[in-house]
């Protein structure tokens, strides 16, 4: 009798293995197909990233030149006042020294401009710099200051 139980158990195991193998075969095929698809997508992503970098390298100088041209054009028509400078500095959340760094002047000059009252007369280079920072936000202003290394850390020491 023990032989019958053993034979029966082995037969059940054999059939179970066969059913598992039959169920896993399509899954293995699908898994291999999906891995190939992922590899293809990764290659495509790499190619797209490379072409994006190349295009960005070509476009960046053109955009920078265009922005400079627009800032120069806008600077010619710009009429800053002490209130508008103080308001812009407040919107950007900058100190007078930091604001001056963005414009290429000292903090004392910014203080003089803001305290003057009425229209502020600036050099052409400062007007161009002002035109260039009028449409930026706080994050961009901080990023530009960090690039120049003239940003002051906020908070207590």
- Tell whether 1 and 73 lie within a shared domain: yes
pLDDT at 151: 63
Q: Which residue has the tokens 């293809």?
A: 40
Token pair recorded at residue 93: 């959340």
In a domain, 156, yes or no: no
Region at 153 (left for phi over 0; alpha for psi -120 to 50; beta for the rest): beta
**pLDDT tens digits along 86-121:** 999 999 999 999 999 999 999 999 999 999 888 998
Mean pLDDT of 68-95: 85
- Tell whether 46 and 83 lie within a shared domain: no
Is there a contact between 115 and 82 (Cβ–Cβ < 8 Å)? yes
In a domain, 153, yes or no: no
- Tell whether 137 and 87 lie within a shared domain: yes
DSSP sequence for the chain:
-HHHHHHHHHHHHHHHHHHHHHHHHHHHHHHHHHHHHHHHHHHHHHHHHHHHHHHHHHHHHHHHHHHHHHHHHHHHH---BHHHHHHHHHHHT--HHHHHHHHTS-HHHHHHHHHH-SB----HHHHHHHHHHTT--HHHHHHHHHHHT-PPPPS--
What is the 3-state secondary structure of 78-90? CCCEHHHHHHHHH
Q: End of a domain among 42, 77, 112?
A: 77
The pTM assigned to this predicted structure is 0.54
Q: Which residue has the tokens 């530009």?
A: 144
- Tell whether 64 and 136 lie within a shared domain: no
CATH number reported for the structural domain that contains residue 134 in this entry: 1.10.260.40
pLDDT at 90: 94
Question: How many structural domains comprise the chain?
Answer: 2
Instruction: Show Cβ contacts of residue 148 under 8 Å, excluding neighbours closer than 6 positions.
Output: 101
pLDDT at 156: 47
**What share of the chain in percent tops pLDDT 90?**
58
- Tell whether 43 and 87 lie within a shared domain: no
Task: Print the domain residue range for 94.
Answer: 79-148
Q: End of a domain among 44, 77, 110?
A: 77
Q: End of a domain among 23, 52, 77?
A: 77
In a domain, 155, yes or no: no
Residue 157 pLDDT grade (very low, low, confident, very high; cuts 50, 70, 90): very low
Lowest-pLDDT range of 9-23, 41-55, 119-133, 143-157: 143-157
């Amino acid at each position: 009798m023990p032989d019958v139980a053993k034979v029966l158990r082995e037969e059940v195991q054999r059939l179970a293995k066969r059913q598992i193998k039959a169920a896993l075969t399509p899954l293995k095929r699908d898994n291999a197909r999906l891995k190939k698809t992922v590899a293809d997508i990764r290659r495509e992503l790499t190619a797209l990233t490379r072409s994006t970098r190349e295009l960005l390298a070509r476009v960046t100088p053109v955009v920078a030149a265009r922005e400079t041209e627009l800032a120069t054009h806008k600077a010619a028509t710009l009429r800053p006042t002490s209130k508008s400078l103080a308001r812009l500095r407040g919107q950007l959340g900058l100190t007078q020294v930091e604001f001056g760094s963005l414009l290429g002047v000292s903090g004392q000059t910014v203080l003089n401009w803001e305290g003057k009252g009425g229209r502020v007369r600036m050099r052409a280079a400062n007007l161009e710099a002002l035109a260039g920072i009028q449409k930026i936000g706080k994050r961009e202003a901080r990023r530009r200051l960090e690039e120049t290394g003239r940003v002051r850390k906020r908070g207590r020491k």
